[in-house]
Amino acid sequence: NAGVTQTPKFQVLKTGQSMTLQCAQDMNHEYMSWYRQDPGMGLRLIHYSVGAGITDQGEVPNGYNVSRSTTEDFPLRLLSAAPSQTSVYFCASSPQKPGGWSYNEQFFGPGTRLTVL
């Protein structure tokens, strides 16, 4: 198993550009999420999904869109990049217990370092 993969590893954008950060997992996990990591702020949840076709907002969703058309993939779209979106982005997945609850550990991808000029 490759686990959770993210592409690209690094990206530089200009203000106003759009792009998609890719995330895929091959563990058949129902739950997937996107976090951003900024100095002194820990990991902040952007969006998450409890299964294909279902997404919801986290703590800091503004400026980002997600979709979940398959169990495996959970792309994060930046609609119009801003310098405030310079960050390291982590995707994570977790198995879902029946009934919609999960207290299983999250498996993190390697991260994407994004700089917006």
Partner 1 sequence: ILNVEQSPQSLHVQEGDSTNFTCSFPSSNFYALHWYRWETAKSPEALFVMTLNGDEKKKGRISATLNTKEGYSYLYIKGSQPEDSATYLCAFHGSGNTGKLIFGQGTTLQVKP
Interface residues toward partner 1, by CB under 8 A: 31, 33, 35, 40-45, 48, 50, 58-59, 90, 94, 96, 100-111
Would you say how long the chain is, in residues?
117
Residue with smaller CB distance to partner 1, 79 or 97? 97
Residue with smaller CB distance to partner 1, 22 or 96? 96
> In the complex, what is the shortest distance from the CB of residue 18 to partner 1, in angstroms, rounded to a whole number?
26
Residue with smaller CB distance to partner 1, 14 or 105? 105
> In the complex, what is the shortest distance from the CB of residue 115 to partner 1, in angstroms, rounded to a whole number?
17
Residue with smaller CB distance to partner 1, 9 or 14? 9
Q: Using alpha carbons, list the distances in angstroms from residue 89 to 37, 92, 102.
A: 6, 10, 23
> In the complex, what is the shortest distance from the CB of residue 21 to partner 1, in angstroms, rounded to a whole number?
15
CB 15 within 8 A of CB 81: yes
Q: Using alpha carbons, list the distances in angstroms from residue 90 to 22, 23, 49.
A: 10, 9, 14
**Rounded Cα distance, 91 and 66, in Å:** 12
Helix (H/G/I), strand (E/B), else coil: 27: coil
> In the complex, what is the shortest distance from the CB of residue 58 to partner 1, in angstroms, rounded to a whole number?
7
